[in-house]
Structure 1
Amino acid sequence: MYKTLCIAALSALLFACAKEPSAFAQADLSVRSPDGENVIRFELERGQPSYQVDRAGSPVIEPSALGFLFKGEDAPLGPFEIVSSDSSSFDETWQQVWGEKQHIRNHYNQLSVTLQETAKPQRQLTLQFRAFDDGIAFRYLFPQQGDSDLVIMDELTEFKLAEDGTAWWIGAYQENRYEYLTTESPVSTLEKVHTPLTIKSDSGLYLSFHEARLVDFASMVLERTDDTSLKADLVPWADGDRVKTDGSFTSPWRTVQIAEKPGDLITSYMILNLNDPNVIEDTSWIEPHKYLGIWWGMHIGKYTFWESETHGASTKNSLEHIDYCKKLGIDHLLIEGWNKGWTPAWYENAMHMFSFTEGTDDFDLKTVADYARENGVKIIGYHETGSNIVNYRKQIDAGMKLYQEMGINDVKIGQVGSRLNMTEWHHGQFGVNYYREVLKKAAEYQLTVNFHEPIKDTGERRTYPNMMAREGARGQEYNAWSEGNPPSHTATIPFTRMLAGPMDFTPGVLDVEIKQGYEGRDVHTTAAKQLALYVVLYSPIQMLADLPENYDGHPAFKFLQDVPVDWEDTKVLDAEIGDTITTVRKDRYSDDWYLGSLTDEEGRSLEISLDFLEPGANYEAQIYADAEGITYQKNATEVAISSQQVTSADSLTLKLAPGGGTAIRFKKL
């Protein structure tokens, strides 16, 4: 493990704890980011706490309420007086086990304010505020104070925006969780929405509202309460309680990332910095990778998930896919549907029963695992719970132990269903605790996790780097059996869903016209754009989603063989939310850079400077572009492949077809 470079300087106390509470009345309780641009100011007026945020002297968030409402007697918290306050600074550089950037700087200034109620029961509450160069964060710490069954019924946190703006959002409390297309509208039209919520203010500032270190708490959605005022809304339990505690709690960090350009939201690592350091000492079994799967064929109707004449996860089909892995040079294979319990109605909300140890009659796990090992391929396991968490918890140890015995180190876990156990929201406190429980259990069995139908990412991967990726948005599969994702979808989610963390989008379909499967379906992109997604949409595990026979002999497959999944650095060169994005990343294990550029329904010509390359070095630019004259609706499979020598002093013109993209490997010579 890279030795953390840490310079932590604790400043003198702003105010001594021994002072009388009245001494704080006129105090300037504020904290400024290291670069001086972002300022958080705390105020206590008539016993009620509030905060505001300025950037470069202009208001971003106007005075906004803080606090909670509890259940039962003494439900309101407050009014308060200030009993102590202190400030500190912190500066470190730490290394990710894997990631989109190898070394991350964690630099902030902090203000802590401890409050106490002026009347009985005189409970205390501490607020921590952190100001970063790329945003602000705050959280609540409520110590144990004698009430062992304290229940939170409401969080009073507000975000009163100083001005209107354009928001990109998906609505909260819908049956399919986060799996909806993004809506673009003024902030003043919002209702209840999920986070990350991305906003471009009328003055041109880019903001992302989210949360970090979500542990034993309900996740937060945002509700517009008046014009441009947003309020925290905690996802409830089935009984209406929001958060059940033992009498103490530490809330997640409430976060606002702030940027002058949309691409700077993507290269902000504030969410990770607000999480605890890695707790897994031996991470040698955690391997970023690319993988094939018995997956796309089931979504397009070539195979079935359940036992049938066309069952996808048969022993015979699995062995053939292992042969493809070996031939194509891809060393991981996902097998879905190998176990007992799959039926044509498996996805219905019916507490469906799966076995996590018994294979179907036409599948033998040991035979398949042994054959894979002999051929240098690692199997990725699959656990579909159908949201029947009662059934999964009964079998989880046996299921994970079986994978461990078979030499399997990776598992995809699905929670298909509108509610966990048909009663609880996936993103309420029940779900938050369930997903964390499974993640910890997987670490015990040295299994990495890829959650589908997940709780949203809030930076857990820093603490548990076996948390590799998750779904949590509309992925590739929607192109197989629905109206599909429009070209603008992949130009939007880098600035919304993916600000939270890696997504298992499952790109790489080169047969974008879907010649096999459901009639009239296609993936609404060009094939070159599918290549670009491997650079634009970050994940340490990337599926090569197409049928393996569509890769065999395809000249554009070379890029999929070459492109890494673990990076030293990431830069966004050009971006406009919902329209276009161009991202470059440097390979962690070579001197090569990779570029992905994509557009929405509009064709574009972009001039890209190559000044990110090493000065004085020569590179071969291996270019995979849209063929001349194509669109995502016409001859979309055609890829123009070329190469040329370039240096950091050069620029390239990228010609993106409507719904298209470009992928480039810059190989250092």
Structure 2
Amino acid sequence: MKAKIVLVFTILCSLKLFAQDIEISSPDGQITVTILDKDTLSLSIQAGNEELIEKLVPQMKFKNGKTFGQIKNRKKVTTKLVNESYEAIVPTKFKNVEYTCTTSTLKCKDFDFELRVFNNGVAYRFISHLKGNVLVTNEEMDITLAQDFTCYLPEEKSLISHFENYYEKLKVSAIKNKTIAALPTLFTNNKGLSLSITESDLFDYPNLFLEKTAFGFQSLFPKYVLKTQALEKGQDRLEAVEKEADYIAKTNGKRSFPWRVFMISFQDEEIISNNLVQQLARPNELKDVSWIQPGRVAWDWWNANNIGNVNFKSGLNTETYKHYIDFAADFGLEYIILDEGWSATTLDVSKPNPDINMEVLTAYAKKKNVGIILWSLWRPLDKNMEELLSLYEGWGVKGIKVDFIQRADQYVVNFYERLAKSAAKHHLLVDFHGGMKPSGMRKAYPNIINYEAVKGLENNKWETKITPHHDALLPFTRMTAGVLDYTPGGMDNAHEDNFAVRFYRPMTLGTRAHQIALYGIYEAPLQMFADSPTNYLANKECTTFMSKIPTVWDDTIVLQAVIGEYVLLARRKDTTWYLAAITNDKSREFTVNLSFLASNKTYQLEAIEDGVNSNSIATDFKINTSIKSVKDTITVKLNNGGGYLGIFTQK
């Protein structure tokens, strides 16, 4: 109790008035936000002795003439220390989350401006007290950066996007004005300090983008869509916006708006463990979550249903999917997915194609204790949501993969929530593909089991850019927003000089151990096994090992990491620890202290690592077993494009 009283006193004293400027500091005093004494709200952000944002001007403008951000006549400012905790229903970093922040609220006539300063970041939002429905014409977030940071830029060509980005490393000064960036966008300096900008608690409002300006970045939003163009003959998904409103959102005037999130790290390891997007999101809204089951899924599309050593013609048919079910059951995988092609047409997902007997298939899956997930374009679900989801539930389906969403305006954000609600009513998981990044909604609706919004392994089917370097960027960039459906697990591994682009029999860049280590690095409660059952059965030792890796985590410790170069981390599920590492195109060696293990227990370590010849033959691997305890150290050796995953099981 005494320690808590001292801490509260310290925080209250951090509200300083220097010529009316207001300083709010994080609980540990390392991050400071200054609200500048002006008629219009403006902030600066400092971390340690470094200024990150010289000036940040947030405003909201409404069609009725109201503007949020004028604070000359503010009523009062309150600042307090907040301690919060919750248990994650589908945990991806931490099951039990506890955090402390300093919260400062500026109360004005029509709005509150709420600011939270954490030990690892800053977030703000507007809370509106307007009456009735309102039209938001724009929300401005004008950022003047204090330094010429290095930016890992996820460039977008327009606001119609699949949100599947590569990250170009370049100085902010080298980015052309008007360049559009998706979120999260990461900025770093040469002292190890980093700033990642994103959002949380996105509901009934458009997705935020950034646009480059002369001095930094400003907010950019899709307009409210009034009309879309009819699909051309032969098209099923490339929808275009025909008419937009002169506002970005039509919404209730009494509400909180999304959090604008600035994740701050003093070293690269801290970027990966940052959990602010989930912490800031609203709590679970589902009464019954007992049916929500994360897990592994055998996926058909990446490997093009290439199945050998069977006595039937493989393809989009009942026998092929029964084979997938058998494979999933044999290795303890929870699900299979029927991707594009299972239905009569892509626009009619109410019945299967003539070669699939859904009644037979779902009965067979139920007998084998394997769930089925069905693919659909988003528009059929948007038009006939209740009818289709009720039908799928009646079939015994366990989830849906929703694809080619592309838009991120208010209507589509509302579609995400509407689908999550309706799917939960029918006990269906939802995996969003071809659409925007996660922004906290899956905390409120934990049946949202995954999001894509990533340049994942599927791109190896048509290009050569999914490299070990790209893989080592994602934990610091896209993954800071939340879960990502990268779809690892390819068994045909090669280095660049032996790699070939093959659509129907795809390969992966990097070693076999690198592919398997991704299951420990990337956060995905629904984790795909992307390759063919035939390839997995031919590599049974690896497949058996992969089947032991869970998809949710109770604890995460990032041990060593450098952006785009390597990641070494430990994760815990129940009493078992998993040590995972990947590297880019450089070989590395780590000596790992096992201090994360329980002090009074002995563990069996089973590890898959790069084989001695994996620098030239990427498929070369070895699996070792040994006995370890907290007192031991181990050597993790990664070859070019390599990886490592160790499983520590209590004896």
3-state DSSP class of the match of 2:42? strand
The aligned counterpart of 2:241 is none
Q: Which moved more, 1:594-603 or 1:551-560?
A: 551-560
Q: Is 2:427 the partner of 1:446?
A: yes
Give the deviation of 1:302 after TM superposition.
4.0
Q: 1:121 corresponds to which residue?
A: none
Tell whether 2:86 aligns with 1:94: yes
Q: 1:627 to 1:50 in 2, by over 3 A?
A: same
- Structure 1 pair 13/666, CA: closer, same or farther in 2 (3 Å)? closer
Counterpart contact for 2:306–2:505, Cα < 8 Å: no
Distance in 2, matches of 1:278 and 1:358, equals 33
1:285 pairs, out of 268, 281, 291, with 291
Match of 1:495 in 2: 476
Hey, what's the Cα distance between the residues in 1 that align with 2:111 and 2:580? 47
| Secondary structure at the counterpart of residue 667 of structure 1 | strand
Distance 2:502 2:365 in 1: 28
Counterpart residue number, 1:561: 547
- Answer yes or no: is 1:395 the counterpart of 2:380: no
Q: Give secondary structure in 2 for the equivalent of 1:109.
A: strand
Structure-2 residue corresponding to 1:473: 454
Corresponding residue SS for 1:245: strand
Pairing of 1:263-282 with structure 2 (within 5 A):
263-282=269-288
Give the Cα–Cα distance (whole angstroms) in 1 for the partners of residues 602 and 434 of structure 2. 45
Cα distance in 2 for partners of 1:127, 1:641 equals: 55
**CA–CA separation in structure 1 for the residues paired with 2:341 and 2:283:** 36
Q: 1:149 to 1:132 in 2, by over 3 A?
A: closer
Paired residue for 2:261, among 255, 258, 272? 255
**Compared CA separation, residues 519 and 313, structure 1 to 2 (3 A):** closer
Q: What per-residue deviation string (whole Å, max 9, x for no partner) do you get for residues 328-347 of structure 1? A: 232311112354454xxxxx
* Equivalent residue for 1:163, pick from 111, 133, 147: 147
> Are residue 233 (structure 1) and residue 220 (structure 2) matched?
yes
1:355 correspondence with 2:348: yes
1:208 to 174, 196, 211: 196
Going from structure 1 to structure 2, the CA distance change for 1:551 and 1:500 (only over 3 Å counts) comes to same
Q: Which position in structure 1 is the counterpart of 2:640?
A: 658
Residue 497 of structure 1 deviates from its aligned partner by 0.6
Matched residue count? 611
Structure 1 residue 359: Cα displacement: 1.1
Unaligned runs of 5+ in 2: 226-243
Alpha-carbon offset, residue 607 of structure 1: 2.2
Task: Give the alignment partner of residue 624 of structure 1, picking from 608, 626, 632.
Answer: 608
Q: CA 1:98–1:521 in structure 2 vs 1: closer, same or farther (change >3 Å)?
A: closer
Question: Does 2:571 match 1:585?
Answer: yes
Counterpart-to-counterpart distance in 2, 1:568 and 1:14: 33
Question: Match for residue 526 of structure 2?
Answer: 541
Query: Which residue of 590, 610, 625 corresponds with 1:643?
Result: 625
State the AA in 1 paired with 2:474: I
Match for residue 56 of structure 1?
A: 48
CA distance in 1, matches of 2:147, 2:282: 34
Post-superposition Cα deviations, 1:432-488, rounded to whole Å, max 9, x if no partner, equal 112121111111211111100122111222211111111001111111233341221
The one-character-per-residue Cα deviations of 1:361-397 (angstroms, maximum 9, x if unpaired) are 1111111000111122111222223xxx2x4323221
TM-score, normalisation: structure 2 = 0.88
CA pair 612-270 structure 1, distance change in 2 beyond 3 A: same
TM-score by length of 1: 0.85
Gaps of 5+ in 1: 1-5, 16-23, 117-123, 304-308, 343-352, 420-425
2-structure distance, mates of 1:125, 1:13: 24
CA distance in 2 between partners of 1:519 and 1:332 (Å): 22
Q: How do residues 341-380 of structure 1 correspond to structure 2 at under 5 angstroms?
A: 341-342=344-345, 354-380=347-373
- Separation in 2 of the partners of 1:331 and 1:573? 30
Name 1:348's counterpart in structure 2: none
Q: Classify the secondary structure of the residue corresponding to 2:144.
A: strand
Q: Is the 8 A contact 1:40 1:129 kept in 2?
A: no
How far has the Cα of 1:540 moved from its partner?
1.1
* Counterpart-to-counterpart distance in 1, 2:643 and 2:426: 40
**Identity rate, percent:** 26
> Aligned pair 1:574/2:560, yes or no?
yes
Equivalent positions of 1:307-386 (< 5 A) are 312-337=315-340, 339-342=342-345, 354-385=347-378
Match of 2:443 among 459, 462, 474: 462
Does the 8 Å CA contact 1:294/1:313 hold for their aligned counterparts? no
Q: Over residues 545-571 of structure 1, what are the superposed CA-to-partner deviations in whole Å (9 max), with x where a residue is unaligned?
A: 110121225212222121111221111
TM-fit CA distance, 1:164: 2.0
The Cα shift of 1:491 comes to 0.2
- For residues 398 and 33 of structure 2, the distance between their equivalents in structure 1, rounded to whole angstroms, comes to 44
C-alpha spacing 1:466/1:475, structure 2 compared with 1 (3 Å): same
Q: CA deviation at 1:608?
A: 2.1
| Separation (CA, whole Å) in 1 of partners of 2:642 and 2:12 | 55
> In the TM superposition, what is the alpha-carbon distance from 1:225 to its structure 2 partner?
1.5
